Structure 1
Amino acid sequence: MTGRRAAASFTRAATVGKEWIDYNGHMADFAYAIAFSETVTAYMDAIGLDAACRAATGSTLYTLDMRTGYLRECHEGDALSLTLHVLEADAKRLHAYLEMHNAAGTLLAWNEQVLLHVSQAGGQPKAAAFPAEVAALLALAVSDSAEILPLPHIERRIGLSRS
């Protein structure tokens, strides 16, 4: 993992494929989850929790909680930019905030996740501390992400207002 670096944010590109389009002619809700999940996997690769690490250690990330806010529609062929920020991390967990923008820079959706580092060695999944180098990268990413806080929409409780 030497030479890896945590940045204030991690960004990857994607394109809305035909298989992501629903009967309404726009990107389906499941496709947003796939796009955000693939971004988390790409981030894992960037910080050293890649396929080689997973094979060697039997460890990975499990999603404990996830919430998505849908703001604008996406259509087949649209170019997307997905950005991940690490808001918090402790010895075993990380709190990630992701945004999806179109080519014009318009925010299309946001996603919030809490992920748990898990060891699957021995056949029974068990929470495990991040490797030291990964923990150090996450700590840097947390300090770099402080500039985007607060995020009022992720502080809001989900539900119907009673007026």
Structure 2
Amino acid sequence: MDAGAVLVADGRGLTIDGHENGFYLGPTLFDHVTADMSIYREEIFGPVLSVVRAADYEQALALASDNPYGNGVGIFTRDGDAARDFAARVNVGMVGVNIPIPVPIASFTFGGWKASGFGDLNQHGADGFRFYTKTKTVTSRWPSGIRGGASFVMPATTGEGH
């Protein structure tokens, strides 16, 4: 706020019945945040949203791409060309089109790029399975000249111990 951002929704002072001694932060919204503010330069997790205003599409794309963090970003538009261009060009790990960042649905990956990333793989989706999967790679080469005698039928069992 001292840097010029406008606090629209203040989540401080939230108490939860039965847990009055806990430390909670309710939804918090800052507007008129600029790229030189610490609230923009630092990656904040929790129910905190900063609204950064861009003069045009290219500036908005650059704001997201040039940020040292690359966790997620969303674009809201009725222009399919703009959505495809944004998704292809933005330098961020998770992109939502007409939805906020598409997580925490476990079937989607969750993991940012740049200073937002950690580990070799994302935490959910196919990469999560890859982390816990032991893969096997088989590389083989077969000599030529055996096509004439090759059999392309599934062997059948006769029930007689075959």
Q: TM-score, normalised by structure 1?
A: 0.25
Structure with larger RCO (C-alpha < 8 A, sep 6+): 1
Q: TM-score, normalised by structure 2?
A: 0.26
Q: Larger radius of gyration, structure 1 or 2?
A: 2
Please identify which structure carries the higher helix content: 1
